[in-house]
Structure 1
C-alpha cells in the first residue's frame, strides 16, 4: 500500500469522527491543537506506523461510510438515479425505511417534465448494507409528515398526482415483511405540512389543503399515539401567519415551529409565497410563545429538525429565497448554512455547514445519528444520497 508521506510538524486537516471510532482517539497524544489558530498539528514525536494503522482503518471503513467534515457521513444511496423529494422516513424492526416521494424521471419541469409520485418502500437493515424493496405504500404518496414511534413509522397526510390526502398509517418492518396499519385520518386533507413527536404526542402544523390552494393553513393538531383509541385534537394555533413547508422540532419539553412560507393570491390568481423568518415555541399546558427570528428563511428545510443534546436543534439548509429570480436550470443549489437554536438562551448561531444542502426532505434517527434521506438539491432536481449526522462534540465551537 502506498501511503502519503507526512512530515513532522506538518499541519493536516482536523480528524473527524466516523461510524464508531475517532481518528484522534486512535492517534492519541500524537496530535496537539494550536491554541492560536485552532488546527490540529502532527506532533514531532509522532511515529509513522500509527498513521499507517489509522489510514488502514479508514480504508477498511470506506465502503461503509464516505466521510465528510463536521460530523456528516454518507450511507448507501437509494437505488434510484434521481432520488425523491419529500419521502416518508423512519425506523422499524431495526431497519431504516424510506418510502414514497416524487421526482421528475424524464425531463426537468422547465422542459415540460411531469412530476411522478411513488409508492415504493425501501429498507436498509444496517449502515453498510444494501437497500432492498420492502413493499409498497397504500398509494403513491409524498409531501407528508413521518416520525418513528412504537416500533413503526407513522405517516401523516401528503399528496399524490390527483389530490391531497388525509390518511394516516403506520409502517412496520417485522421478520423481513412490511405491514401497514391504519391510524385515524386527519380532519382534512393536507400536504406540505410539518410535524414532530414530543413524547407520545405527534404535533402537526400548517400545510395546504389542495394542490391549487392560494392560502396556507393555520391549523395545529395533536395525536396521542399512546392512547388505545387515538384521536386528533385541534389546538390553538401559533400567534403568527399561516404557513406551509415549515420546520418542526421537538426539544426541551416543547414543540417548535420555524420559518415556512405563507401564501396569498397574486394578480393572476396564482399563489404567491412570502418567506418567513419567525419562529414559535409551544409548551403543553402553557401555550405558544414567539422566540427569536431566524437570521434567514429556511423554507422546506429537513424536518423534524435534528436535535443536539438537551437544549439545541439545527435548521439545516432550506430555501432562503436568495435565488427566486434564477432562471430555470441555473439555480446554484440551496445554502449549506446550518443554524443552531439554543432553547435556553433563545439564540440562533451559525454552525458548521452541511455538505448536503437539501429541501423537501425527511429526517430520522437511527443508531445514535440523525439521517437526511434523499430530498431536493435544486428546484426540480432530486438526490438519491442518504446522509448521516453524528453530533458528537457539537458544543462551544458551534455556539
Structure 2
C-alpha cells in the first residue's frame, strides 16, 4: 500500500540522492552464540527474544531447523534456551544460560527501564498470546513474570512504550493479519490489554520503535493474503499517543519487511530487511502448486520452488537512517556480509546489538552483530 503525495516523493528523492552528514554506524567484530556441549557451533535462531538489562544482553528462545530445511522435510524446532552476556564496550562475555518457562519465537520485544517485555509469538503448538516480563535479581538470577495476555494470539507484531503504557502493534494471527493497536497500562497491575486504535492497514513483520514518550513509528512490514502473494510495505507511520492520530511520513527507499531498527536522537535506524524479491516468487510458486491437479506438473513446480529457496541470495544488506527533523532518508554503509532478518536490534547507549536471525531462507546465523552510532 502506498499513500504517496508529490511533496513526499520530492522529499524522498532529495533524501536518497544527497546523503547528509550526522548519521553513521561503526561496526565491531561480531560475537557468537555459544557452542553446544559437544563443541559444535550453534546454527542460530530466528525470532529470538532480545533485550538489554543492566548492561547485560539477553538472547532467549527462537526457532531453527536442526534436521534439514523445511523443503527437505525438516521440522521447525522452537527453543526455550536463554543466554545472558555481560557487555563491556564491544566485548561480550557469556555469563549464564537458563531456560524460559515455555519455548517461544517471533514475539514482539521491548527493553524498558531495566526490564525486558515480550508479547505474542509462536511455538510448536501454534500462535500464542502470552506476555512476559523478565528482570534480573540482585544476584543475577532470571525472574520471569507473566502479565495480562493479549486479546488475540499474534506473532511477528511490534511493541513500544509511551505515556506509561505498552503498545502492541499488528501481528499475524491464525486467520488474518492484525490492523489493531492494543495498549496495557503498566501502572495498574490488574490492567488488561485494550484496543487503542486501528492502523490504516493490517501489518506484520514491521520495525516498531518509539521515543518512549509520545510517539511510535511503524516502518515497512508485510501482509499475508489468502490465495495471493503477500503485500510488502514501504510506508512509515507516526502514531501520536495523546490523540491516537496516525500520519504517513516519507516512504522507505524500498519496501522492506522483517528488518531491524532502533530509535536514537530523532532518527530511525533501519538495518537490512527482506525486499520480497525471492519471498514473492516462492509464494507465487506455492499458490500455483496448490491450484494444479496434474501430479507431474506439481512435481516440476515443487522442484522449481525448492530451487528458489535453496539458491536464496540473502536479504537486503542496505542500512538507512530516517531523520525526523529533515523528513529524509540517509543511506548508511551496508552490512559486510549476510544481513540478518526476523530478529531484534537493541540499544545500549549509542551502541546496539543484532543477535542471530535468518540470513537466507531457512538458514540462521550464530553471529551477534555489534554497531555504534556515530
Residue pair 2:28, 2:370 contacting (<8 A) in 1 also: yes
The answer to whether 1:162 aligns with 2:143 is no
Which of 242, 246, 250 does residue 210 from structure 2 map onto?
Answer: 250
Higher helix proportion: 2
- Mind listing any 5+ residue stretches in structure 1 that lack a counterpart? 1-68, 393-399
Taking the aligned partners of 2:325 and 2:187, their CA distance within structure 1 comes to: 29
Match of 2:352 in 1: 370
**1:45 maps to which residue?**
none
Count of equivalent residues: 313
Cα distance between partner residues in 2 of 1:176 and 1:349: 40
**Which residues of structure 2 form unaligned runs of 5+?**
1-23, 36-41, 282-306
Structure 1 contact 70–354 (Cα < 8 Å) conserved: no
Does the 8 Å contact 2:49/2:60 carry over to 1? yes
Whether 1:333 aligns to 2:314 is: yes
| Aligned counterparts of 2:33 and 2:272: Cα–Cα separation in 1 | 21
**SS of residue in 2 equivalent to 1:317:** strand
Query: Aligned to 2:253, which of 270, 274, 295?
Result: 295
The answer as to whether partners of 1:244 and 1:261 remain within 8 angstroms in 2 is yes
1:281-360 matched pairs, under 5 angstroms: 281-286=238-243, 287-302=245-260, 305-309=261-265, 311-324=266-279, 325=281, 327-355=308-336, 357-360=339-342
Instruction: Kindly state the Cα deviation for residue 367 of structure 1 after the two structures are TM-superposed.
Output: 5.0
Residue 238 of structure 1, CA deviation: 2.1
| SS class of match (2:309) | coil
Q: Is 1:190 the counterpart of 2:146 in the alignment? A: no
Matched residue SS, 1:110: helix
Tell me the distance in 1 between the aligned counterparts of 2:164 and 2:73.
Answer: 44
Q: Tell me the alpha carbon deviations over residues 176-232 of structure 1, each in whole angstroms, 9 at most, x when there is no partner.
A: 31111121111111111112233643221111122xx3x311110122324444432
- Encode CA deviations 1:313-341: one digit per residue, 9 max, x unaligned: 11111000123337121111111111221
Q: CA deviation at 1:105?
A: 0.9
| Post-superposition offset of 1:132 | 4.3
How far the C-alpha of 1:344 sits from its partner, in A, is 2.5
For residue 133 of structure 1, report the CA deviation from its aligned partner.
4.1
Taking the aligned partners of 1:143 and 1:308, their CA distance within structure 2 comes to: 24
**1:199–1:76: structure 2 CA closer, same or farther, 3 Å change rule?**
farther
Q: CA deviation at 1:263?
A: 2.1
Shift of 1:347: 2.1
Bigger relative contact order, structure 1 or 2 (CA pairs below 8 A, ≥6 apart): 2
- Please tell me the root mean square deviation across aligned C-alpha atoms, in Å: 2.0
Which is worse superposed, 321-330 or 370-379? 321-330
Q: Secondary structure at the match of 2:117?
A: strand
Structure with the higher fraction of residues in strand conformation: 2
Quick one: distance in 2 between partners of 1:368 and 1:312? 12
The alignment's TM-score, normalised by the length of structure 1, stands at 0.74
1:259 is displaced (CA, Å) by: 1.2
Counterpart for residue 391 of structure 1: 373
**1:177 aligned residue (141, 145, 148):** 141
**TM-score, normalised on structure 2?**
0.78
Give 1:83's aligned residue: 44
